[in-house]
Amino acid sequence: MGLRVASVRNQRTVGATATTLTEDINFAFNAHSIHQDVFCYKDSGTAATVQNLIDKVTQIRLITQNGNPEVTIDGDDLHDMLPLVFGTIPYVSINTSTDNIPHGFGLQYATSPFWWDPLKNFGMPGGQGIQYVGDYAADVAQDFDGYVYDLTVEGVDTADKPNSNGYLRVSQDAYTSGAVGEIRNTVIAPAKRILGTYNFMTTSFDDLAAAAAFDVTGIRNQGVAFSSSVQFNYKPSRSWSMKLPQTVASFAAAAAVINILDDGRWFADYGINNSSSVLGIAYQPNAAIQTTAGVAEATRVNTLALV
């Protein structure tokens, strides 16, 4: 099997002001994953959090032959997606408050649900990808500065996988719910299979005040519907016993090695890592994710599909 590793960019300067940077990812091989490794320096001797460090990358989009963009996901959601969906922990350097100390972190967009196994017949076919687009925030005084990044695409020869079973598409629905009990229908574009829903709610279970009801989290309930007919539903707590890596509570601790940035993120798994070539649930026309609000607040519903 012909493994391919393409260095797209080496130490590209992001700059101190808000900007959008674009990279070409049109390769003639089957892509399994896209790695973005980000480097910077601590700005001044004041404390800053790992969230501050990663906030530089505000959003990532993939432009493909199927859409402009076909994939959209926020930077911190992408960071936490690796442990919550795939059970692997991305690198984040030990955070310090010493001026000018190098810091860094890794982001990965998995185009294959089994990005770690090149023998699995999944991935983005050669010529399908067009551009990797990143939105970057302005530097925040006394947090971090001097940001640069590397970008690498990995995969195998197209001849080794002439007929991929599909690649991973993440579609973002970012909104603010208007009232408790409001139902949001997030439409799922046509796909081969629906693999799961990866969510962010501002108010997590750990944020609840004393004597609060147990269901006043940002998302109270969620389900999969075909033509408005709910097939099954679940609460955020369904994900509690399904977390793959160990997580820690002190996400903002200055010297903590962390797994996830915010426990308001959770993944509803429909079978993304099934031990077969059939993943998730079958797509049907007019498919949607129905999300019921427990609090009126900012929410993100990211649908994962095989296309």
Question: pLDDT tens for residues 56-94?
Answer: 999 999 999 999 999 999 999 999 999 899 988 888 998
User: To which residue do tokens 């925030």 refer?
Assistant: 137
pTM above 0.85, yes or no: yes
Span 170-185, pLDDT tens digits:
999 999 999 999 999 9
Within a 10 A sphere around the Cβ of 221, how many other Cβ atoms?
Answer: 16
Distance CA 229, CA 76 (A): 33
Mean pLDDT of the chain: 92
Helix, strand, or coil here: 26?
coil
Q: How many CA atoms lie within 13 A of 31 on its CB side?
A: 27
Tokens found for residue 20:
């959008």
Q: Which domain holds residue 239?
A: 3-306
The alpha carbon of residue 191 and the mean position of all alpha carbons in its chain are separated, in whole angstroms, by 19
Do 33 and 71 meet the contact criterion of CB atoms below 8 Å apart? no
**Total structural domains in the chain?**
1
Considering only CA atoms, which of 159, 161, 201, 199 is closest in space to residue 180?
201
pLDDT tens, residue by residue, 88-123: 888 899 888 999 999 999 999 999 999 999 889 999
Give the type of residue at 209: A
